[in-house]
Amino acid sequence: MRRFLFFLLVFAPILLFSQDLSLVEPLHLIDTPSAGTLARGSFRAELRAYPAGGLLGGIDVGITDRMMIGLSYGGTNLIGTGDIDWNPQVGVKLRYRLFEEGLSFPALLIGYDSQGYGAFIDSTNRYMEKSRGLFVCASKNYNFLGTLGLHGGLNYSFENGDDDEDVNLFLGIDKSLNPELALVLEYDFALNDNNDRSLGSGKGYLNAGLKWIFAGKLNIDFIVKNMIRNKNKMPAFTREIRISYVEIF
Q: How confident is the model at residue 68 (pLDDT cuts 50, 70, 90)?
A: very high
Helix, coil or strand: residue 63: coil
pLDDT for 85-97, tens place per residue? 999 999 999 999 9
Distance separating alpha carbons of residues 247 and 17, to the nearest angstrom:
7
Backbone torsions φ then ψ of 51, nearest 5 degrees: -55, 165
Cα 99 to chain center, whole Å?
A: 21
Question: What average pLDDT is seen over the chain?
Answer: 89
Residue-wise pLDDT for 183-194, tens only, equals 999 999 999 999
Lowest model confidence (mean pLDDT) among 2-6, 128-132, 220-224, 231-235: 2-6
Domain range for 120 is: 2-248
Q: What is the CATH number of the domain that holds 16?
A: 2.40.160.40
User: Per residue in 195-231, pLDDT tens?
Assistant: 888 888 889 999 999 999 987 789 999 999 999 988 7
Would you place residue 19 in the very low, low, confident or very high pLDDT band (cuts 50, 70, 90)?
A: very low
Question: Is residue 21 very low, low, confident or very high in pLDDT (cuts 50, 70, 90)?
Answer: very low
Alpha-carbon distance of 20 to 49, in angstroms, equals: 26
pLDDT category, 20, cuts 50, 70, 90? very low
The predicted pLDDT at position 237 comes to 81
**For residue 232, is pLDDT > 70?**
no
Instruction: Give the count of domains, the chain.
Output: 1
Sequence-distant (6+) residues with CB within 8 A of 228 are 203, 204, 205, 206
Query: Mind listing the pLDDT tens digit for each residue in 70-128?
Result: 999 999 999 888 889 999 999 999 999 999 999 889 999 999 999 999 999 998 999 99
Exposed, middle or buried: residue 123 (CB in 10 Å: 0-12, 13-18, 19+)? exposed
Residue 245 CA to residue 249 CA, distance in Å, equals 13
Candidates 194, 181, 216, 229; CA nearest to 19 is 216
